Chain A
Amino acid sequence: MYGSLTRYELAWPLVVVAAAVLFPPYLNNYLLFVGSILLVYAVLALGLDLIMGHAGQFALSHVAFYGIGAYVTAILQSRYGVPFPIGLVAAIVVSAALAAAIAVASVRLRHIYLGLATVAFAAATHWVFEHWRNLTGGVDGMRLPPADFMFFRAVGDAANFRVLAVMFALILLATFLLVRSKLGRSMAAIRDSEHVAAVSGISVARTKMWVFMISSAYASVAGSMLFVFNSFISPIDFTFAPAVLLLTMLVVGGMGSIPGVIVGAFLLGILPEVLRTVLRNYLVWQEFVYGLILVLSITLMPQGVAGLFKKLTAKRREAK
């Protein structure tokens, strides 16, 4: 689990980049747009999984940092002409700094108390998005220009998808490295038992703070990715609904498993589109079937897709 990356872990980001280069000419704008949404969901879910699945902390402020990432990048480029890469770095720094401040205040909290504290932060951030009109455009939202990458501008769904796929590949690589690092080991130790981790010489408070900052930075990157392929953002993009969706992605995919989380994000991201096509003539049933699938998958796969896969693999081994 720890140490250097496996061949598979090195190959996956390369596969993503190759797919980003090869596929767009064969896909229409709808699929590219849906693909872009899935990549954003995957980055968001990977970030949330760091804190929930790998470190075992119950934080619900992810959607706030998602919004901060989107607004910081958008405001810097559209109001001050700051190119996207610099805006992205600024968004990460702002999010990490805010996360550090929150972590200092809430590092002693656990479980539902940490959850409530982070929900309060998310609610306050949403209020700022809605009411700091001069900066965010308030409930009117912000129209966004094409992302400026200094050497080129990402115009059109194909270009956007390619950029997002590269960003996702980098995040994926970073996640593999992080989980295999010393910090990754500390996170796992804290998840399993904070007391045991502490007596083993791990600084629980410092580790929690780092995880919270990194996880928030992931969400911020996802927000910046939203800026790349959307021509408009508004506070409605950062309500509690995406927060619940993200949690569901983790549960369906399997917390603590990188492939599981990505599968969960892709499954739940694509499901509404599949239902749109399959249940075209049964519009009112789409939401019901969506809910039913969630309930069934959580009931039948309590450890998520990753857990089911492990179980099936183990059974096959036993049979041999």
Chain B
Amino acid sequence: MGIISQTIRAVGGFAIAAVMAGPAAAQTTTGVTDDEILIGIFAPLSGALTAYGTDPTNAARAWFNDVNEKGGIHGRQIRYIVEDDKCTPAEAGAIARKFINVDRVFAMLGGSCSGATVSIQELVNQEQIPHFMLNASGDAGVYPPTKYQFGAAPGTQRATLAAVMSYAIDDLGAKTVGVLGPEDEMGTAALRMIHAVAEKRGVEVVANEIVPNNATDVTVPVLNVQSANPDVIILTTYAPPTTLVMKKIVEFGLVDKPIISAIQGVSSTDAFLASLDGDTTGLKNFYYAHPLVGETMDDPGLKPFKDLMVKHFPDRPNPGIMGAYGFPHAMAIVHALEAAGPGLTREKFMEAIEKTNFESGVMAAPTVFNPERRDSLRGQVIVKFDGETVTHAGGPYLWDEIVDPSYFD
């Protein structure tokens, strides 16, 4: 067959498949048959942000495969379709519409970037299709909560900074804190929680220095924090600027000062240490917030989940730690499908999902959804890293037990 006729067939196939789907038909429960439940999965699987999507997607797929191998849910197998959104709102918008109108999925699980997930919030609420973010954790997707969008599997900045501040105050006895962080969405959300806890506990934020994500020199912000002399230094920076700050901490002799980093500052301890050229001088009093039960996929708590991923995706024998974030919402979907019973409808599923409350075995705190809550993880732990070992230092701390959620209204 010639290339031209193959192309015509391909384009024709697309057109027929898309048009035949027609306008959304009124159907009791789309995406559910007697023997199948259809889920649409999307994540960045190509381009610069592939690393954020590949392993979490595999984790979710591995979980669904495992459920299927064990007989499925009430006699139904979970079938999933995977699409690549490249973390862009436009692609996410097209994919979500394709899932809803062409594939007719029952629910969607996807999104590793906040922008792409927030961009389909209105659509999923309009179409009343439940959408669970894969590992996107931006505050904008879940605050204020909307009925059909669920997120924050790794916890929002509220969860991270509540843990950081609680540990600083309760365990390190901080009366003053100094903050170094970016001015972006994450940095702003982080600062909001820092001020909320500080106000409540009578702690003073004596320095708040902006460190852009693309900073190449952090001398001035670090000097400003040094001159403010806080009891504890808090970092809400991403990994590259965190490295710069830590090097300046050593240079300016601030190594005795306790430093607590948000999770985004330490992508993995190996990578973090390598970025410091193996120099552990600045890690004398270094802590960071963490949402998982283990530090690497080989830790005893996470090893069974790694094994499950490798079993189903042997082409990736060493999945990254981010992969773990793909489990909790896949588990939440399975829990709710089980609870909804054999006569599955979307209404029953929504009722069940709003009663979600389980320990995933992956995350440091329970995965919870209820009518007022769409951020599944509210707790994180604090760990101490000295350059060699990671030890549990405190927590889990649950942000809504530390600050009344109404503070943010």
Q: Chain A interface (Cβ within 8 Å of chain B)?
A: 25-31, 33-34, 37, 130-131, 133, 138-141, 143, 157, 230-234, 236-237, 270, 272-274, 276-278, 280, 283-284, 286-287
Contact = CB atoms under 8 A, between A and B. Distances in A.
Given A231-B123, A232-B115, A232-B119, A34 B94 contact: yes
Interface in B125-154: 138, 140
A141 B118 contact: yes
B13 interface: yes
B131 to A, nearest CB: 14
Most-contacted residue by chain A among B17, B21, B100, B115 (CB, 10 A): B115
Contact of A230 (B10, B11, B22, B119): B119
Contact of A284 (B46, B88, B97, B118): B46
A237 B88 contact: yes
The listed residue with most A CB atoms (<10 A of its CB), out of B21, B45, B88, B89, is B89
A256 to B, nearest CB: 25
Nearest to A138: B184
B359 interface: no
Contacts of B81: 280
Interface of B: 10-11, 13-14, 17-19, 21-24, 45-47, 81-84, 87-91, 93-95, 97-98, 100-102, 114-115, 118-119, 121-123, 138, 140, 183-185, 188
Most buried by B among A33, A34, A139: A139
27 contacts: A28-B22, A28-B97, A30-B97, A30-B100, A30-B102, A31-B19, A31-B101, A33-B94, A33-B97, A34-B97, A133-B183, A138-B184, A138-B185, A140-B138, A140-B140, A140-B185, A141-B115, A141-B119, A231-B122, A232-B89, A233-B89, A236-B115, A237-B89, A273-B98, A277-B14, A277-B18, A287-B47
A237 B90 contact: yes
Contacts, number: 119
Nearest to B21: A28
Nearest to A286: B84
A96 B119 CA distance: 29
Nearest to A130: B184
**Chain B, interface SS category:** helix
B46 A287 contact: yes
Name, among B17, B100, B119, the residue most crowded by chain A CB atoms within 10 Å (CB to CB).
B119
B17 A157 contact: no
Contacts of A140: 114, 138, 140, 184-185, 188
Contacts of B45: 283-284
A298 B210 CA distance: 46
Given A31-B19, A37-B94, A234-B89, 16 more contacts: A26-B23, A28-B18, A30-B97, A33-B93, A34-B94, A138-B185, A141-B115, A141-B119, A143-B122, A232-B115, A232-B118, A232-B121, A273-B18, A277-B13, A277-B18, A287-B84
A237 B183 CA distance: 20
B140 A277 contact: no
Contact of B23 (A27, A131, A231): A27
Most buried by B among A28, A37, A272: A28
A262 to B, nearest CB: 17
B200 to A, nearest CB: 25
Main secondary structure of the interface of A (DSSP, over half): helix
Contacts of B22: 26, 28
A131 B84 contact: no
Contact of B101 (A28, A131, A272, A277): A28
Contacts of B24: 28-29
Nearest to A233: B89
Contacts of A230: 89-90, 93, 119
Contacts of B114: 140
Nearest to B212: A131
A19 to B, nearest CB: 14
B90 A37 contact: yes
B185 A139 contact: yes
B19 A26 contact: yes
A155 B183 CA distance: 34
B185 to A, nearest CB: 4
A34 B121 CA distance: 18
B93 to A, nearest CB: 6
Contacts of A143: 118, 121-122
Contacts of B185: 138-140
Nearest to B127: A29
B136 to A, nearest CB: 13
A140 B47 CA distance: 21
A235 to B, nearest CB: 9
A6 B107 CA distance: 51
Contacts of B83: 276, 283
Contacts of A236: 87-89, 115
Given A33-B94, A143-B118, A131 B183 contact: yes
Nearest to B123: A231
Contacts of B95: 276
Nearest to A278: B10
Contacts of A276: 83, 95, 98
A236 B22 CA distance: 31
A139 B97 contact: no
A157 B23 CA distance: 11
Contacts of A25: 23
Give the most central of A231, A233, A270: most B CB within 10 Å: A231
A237 B89 CA distance: 7
A274 to B, nearest CB: 4
A231 B121 contact: yes
B115 A234 contact: yes
Given A140-B185, A274-B10, A30 B18 contact: yes
A75 B94 CA distance: 24
A275 B82 CA distance: 13
A80 B123 CA distance: 24
A140 B14 CA distance: 34
A273 B46 contact: no
Contacts of B123: 231
